[in-house]
Amino acid sequence: DAKTTQPPSMDCAEGRAANLPCNHSTISGNEYVYWYRQIHSQGPQYIIHGLKNNETNEMASLIITEDRKSSTLILPHATLRDTAVYYCIVRHSGGSNYKLTFGKGTLLTVNP
C-alpha cells in the first residue's frame, strides 16, 4: 500500500470547515483512499473512502486531485466532538478483509 503524509496537527474553530490534507504521491491506479478517525480512547471510526471521484456522505466530503497524488477530507461544520486523530490510508483493496496500515494521522482540535 502506498505511503501517506499528513500534518501532525491542525486547529479549527467550531462551526467552520475543517480541511485535512493528505499526500499520497506514490498511489497506484487501483488503490483507494480511506479516511478513519479515532476519538480519544475509542476504536477508529470509518468516515469515507474514494478511488477517483470526489465523494460526499453525511459525515464529510473527500476531494481527490485529478492526478490522485493528494486528497482533502472536509468536515463542513466542525463541532467540538470532531476533535480526534484523523487517519488517511491508501490501500489496494476495497472491503474489510484486507488489513489497514495506520500512519500517525492528524490530530484535529476543534476550538470553541
Partner 1 sequence: GAVVSQHPSRVICKSGTSVKIECRSLDFQATTMFWYRQFPKKSLMLMATSNEGSKATYEQGVEKDKFLINHASLTLSTLTVTSAHPEDSSFYICSGGQGDTEAFFGQGTRLTVV
Scanning 20-28, 63-71, 74-82, 91-99 for contacts with partner 1 by CB under 8 A, the matching segment is 91-99
Amino acid, res. 64: I
With CB under 8 A as the contact rule, the residue among 41, 67, 81, 112 that binds partner 1 is: 41
Kindly write down the DSSP assignment for every residue of 29-61, as one continuous string: TT-EEEEEEE-TTS--EEEEEESSS-EE-SS-E
Residue 51 binds to partner 1 (criterion: CB under 8 A): no
Residue 102 binds to partner 1 (criterion: CB under 8 A): yes
* Distance set, CA 27 to CA 45, 47, 65, 75, 104 (Å): 23, 20, 12, 23, 18
Residue 45 binds to partner 1 (criterion: CB under 8 A): yes
Q: Which is nearer to partner 1, 76 or 94 (CB)?
A: 94
Residue 69 binds to partner 1 (criterion: CB under 8 A): no
What 8-state DSSP symbol labels residue 79?
A: -
Residue 53 binds to partner 1 (criterion: CB under 8 A): no
With CB under 8 A as the contact rule, the residue among 87, 88, 90, 110 that binds partner 1 is: 87
Q: Residue 103 burial by CB count (10 A; 0-12/13-18/19+): exposed, middle or buried? A: middle
Binding residues (CB under 8 A) for partner 1: these are: 34, 38, 41-46, 49, 87, 94-97, 99-105
